[in-house]
Amino acid sequence: MGKTIRTMLVAVTLSAWADNRADAMQICSWLVESNQPDDVRQLDLWLQSDTDVDFLIKVDGAGIVDGSGKSNSPVTATYTLTAGKAEKAWSFGSTLEVPGAIDETIELHKVPADIFSDTPTPLLAKFAFQRKIPSNEKTPPDTLAKKQCATLK
């Protein structure tokens, strides 16, 4: 293969790679737990993206689980993130008697063309926040507050 053809192939490959990178965006999610009065465990979901993005968010899972049962506040809603700005997208609190568990699943989907349609839309990213809560836990650790990131195209 001649030098000119190899150079052209390298240029085309690099250009395609750059185009793919330009279309990709990163979105990060984290869950902050805190104790509130009356044994309430508060969950705050935070999201951040490196570009402006619209999506359909679905929050589900068993939620806050203890010996008396499961408690959650599932939601499905459209949402918009502004590039570089961390936003609290969802909050929920419930009484927690340790031991217990946290079980939240966050799905980000493409916004439907018709917001009244029940037709599923493509999944863009999925985040799971799950941990066991031991009986001797007094203060929630920052385990779920570590950012989980996904690259979307």
Per-residue pLDDT of the chain (153 residues; tens, 9 = 90+): 555 444 333 333 333 333 444 568 999 999 999 999 999 999 999 999 999 999 999 999 999 999 999 999 999 999 999 999 999 999 999 999 999 999 999 999 999 988 788 889 999 999 999 999 999 999 999 999 999 999 987
DSSP reduced 3-state for 13? helix
Q: Looking at the domain 24-152, which fold is it?
A: Immunoglobulin-like (2.60.40)
The predicted pLDDT at position 2 comes to: 54
d(CA 137, CA 42) in angstroms, rounded, equals 15
Task: Using the structure block, give the residue that is written with the tokens 């793919």.
Answer: 20
The predicted pLDDT at position 22 comes to: 55
